[in-house]
Structure 1
Amino acid sequence: MADIIENNHTNPEDFYKSLKEKLEEQHNFPEEYLFKFIVTSDSEKITEILRVFDNMKYTLSNKESATGKYTSVSIDCFVLDADQVITIYKEVAGIEGVMML
């Protein structure tokens, strides 16, 4: 999945257009989609991410790094289409300090 979320474009709209094409080529929506994020080990950051998924069906798993400085957040969520995936990524991108994989 990391190859999908590479930002090789300077223009965010070009990036999201390219991402949409790749998502539509590689997935059969609607389906379960795995979102992965890395944040500093701060429960408030994780809560901010989870707010993006309010009113959605999802499964959450977290794993702290060996040093405890970072937490990987994996959210397996039922999505309808590539546009919904992109909307979620755009909302999470607005949260400071979150790396998207």
Structure 2
Amino acid sequence: MDKNTQEFYDRLQAELDLSNTWPALYLFKFIVPSINDNVLRVEEAFDCLGAVIKTTKSKTGKFTSISVDVQMKNSQEIIDKYIEVSTIKGIISL
């Protein structure tokens, strides 16, 4: 992981810890190209966590937005999920 990426995650973790009492409900939002198994890969990343996942295709069908509402134990667990899904080609985390 490059230095800028690490600094981003460090700042995010500090903000999460300031604004939450753990465990906490967290809303992840992603946009992925609607190709291959991108949506499935995001869904599988949250498998067995009791997540509520909603997907919406764009008007053209080229992209899918994914909202994941899930109870997270701590800020590090959130960071770990962002890192896990960052390997999906073309994913945008909002």
TM-score by length of 1: 0.84
Where does residue 26 of structure 2 map in the other structure? 33
Report the secondary structure of 2:88's partner residue: coil
**Percent identity of paired positions between Structure 1 and Structure 2:** 33
Superposed, 1:55-94 pairs within 5 Å as 55-94=48-87
**Offset of residue 43 of structure 1:** 5.9
Where does residue 6 of structure 1 map in the other structure? none
**Offset of residue 65 of structure 1:** 1.2
Report the secondary structure of 2:56's partner residue: strand
Partners of 1:62 and 1:42 lie apart in 2 by 14
TM-score by length of 2: 0.89
Partners of 2:66 and 2:74 lie apart in 1 by 22
- C-alpha deviations, 1:1-49, integer Å up to 9, x for none? xxxxxxxx95221111111001111222211110000011236101111
Consecutive aligned runs of 4 or more in structure 1 exceeding 2 Å deviation: none
> Aligned match of 1:16 in 9, 20, 39?
9
Partners of 2:65 and 2:91 lie apart in 1 by 10
Report the secondary structure of 1:89's partner residue: helix
**Offset of residue 69 of structure 1:** 1.3
Partners of 1:17 and 1:40 lie apart in 2 by 27
RMSD (CA atoms): 1.6
Partners of 1:43 and 1:77 lie apart in 2 by 25
